[in-house]
Amino acid sequence: MSNTKPNEDTRVKLPALFHTTRLGYSYVSLKNYLKDDKKIDAETNIFIDIFKESISKINKSEYSKTSAELVVEFLSQSLGTEKQFTNFLIPLAMRILVENFIITL
């Protein structure tokens, strides 16, 4: 039996990390990411290069790093209050739901 005492790392962080990697997500070490001279938005903790790749893939069009940074800046400003961010997301989510419903009919 182990003499180590259970803590947040063993009970929460590691199981969450294992679960998300099984779902297909990749773990990105902050130390290694910054070593490669890549940028992280300080207010939202969004990894700019990963974000750019993801929105390009989702929208099936290429975004420049500058465009991605502008989107992150917009998100950062939208996160000013929870109500502002919620008001931004609700119409977007409704549009996605409607588009998916129409496509699947």
**What integer pLDDT is reported at residue 105 of this predicted model?**
44
Query: For all residues of the chain together, what is the average pLDDT?
Result: 77
Residue 9: C-alpha distances to residues 1, 18, 21, 102 (Å): 18, 12, 16, 44
The β-bridge partners of 40 are 47
**What integer pLDDT is reported at residue 8 of this predicted model?**
81
Instruction: Note the pTM of the prediction, 2 decimals.
Output: 0.55
**What integer pLDDT is reported at residue 103 of this predicted model?**
52
Please determine, for residue 38, whether its predicted confidence score (pLDDT) is greater than 60: yes
Q: What pLDDT, in 10s, does the model give residues 78-95?
A: 666 556 666 666 776 666
Residue, of 71 and 85, whose pLDDT is higher: 71
Q: What pLDDT, in 10s, does the model give residues 95-105?
A: 655 555 555 44
Please determine, for residue 7, whether its predicted confidence score (pLDDT) is greater than 60: yes
